[in-house]
């Protein structure tokens, strides 16, 4: 009877260990999915601000039907968002491709690391009428 009880205890420990391992993996996947959604949401906010910038006259701080003043540096991004927004708990955001008459590309890098040690990166291509997110890794 003693051996049978020991085997049941060992089996119980194995089952609990497997359940914990599976739950940790599920938690990590959920954290990555949540971070992805948050980064894309922030990129959409930047895209909307860029489209508003495009349609405003210069007297209101706009680009008058061009994205050209939105340069691929901190100065260009500062015209759309504060520093607190461009590096927040969700990710870090930059202008990847400087603005032109036809569009601009934003890049967002998530803050939750993937299993290979990299961080998920997303692009948002913005034209005067569209916003297209793209996952890079």
Can you give the pTM of this predicted structure? Answer: 0.80
User: Tens of pLDDT along 11-65?
Assistant: 999 999 999 988 888 888 888 889 999 999 999 999 999 999 999 998 888 888 8
User: Tens of pLDDT along 85-133?
Assistant: 788 999 999 999 887 888 999 999 999 988 898 999 999 999 999 999 8
Other C-beta atoms within 10 Å of 91: how many?
A: 24
pLDDT tier, 134 (very low <50, low <70, confident <90, very high otherwise): confident
pLDDT recorded at residue 11:
92
pLDDT recorded at residue 1:
61
In contact, 96 and 72? CB cutoff 8 Å: yes
What are residue 87's phi and psi, to 5 degrees?
-145, 95
């Amino acid at each position: 009877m003693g051996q049978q009880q020991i085997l049941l205890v060992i089996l119980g420990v194995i089952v609990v260990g497997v359940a914990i391992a599976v739950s940790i993996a599920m938690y990590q996947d959920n954290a990555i999915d949540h971070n992805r959604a948050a980064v894309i949401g922030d990129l959409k906010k930047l895209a909307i601000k860029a489209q508003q910038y495009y349609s405003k006259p210069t007297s209101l701080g706009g680009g008058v039907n061009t994205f050209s003043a939105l340069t691929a540096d901190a100065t260009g991004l500062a015209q759309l968002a504060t520093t607190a927004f461009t590096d927040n708990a969700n990710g870090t955001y930059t202008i990847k491709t400087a603005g032109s008459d036809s569009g601009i590309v934003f890049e967002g890098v998530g803050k939750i690391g993937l299993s290979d040690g990299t961080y998920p990166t997303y692009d948002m291509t913005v034209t005067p009428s569209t916003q297209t997110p793209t996952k890079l890794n």
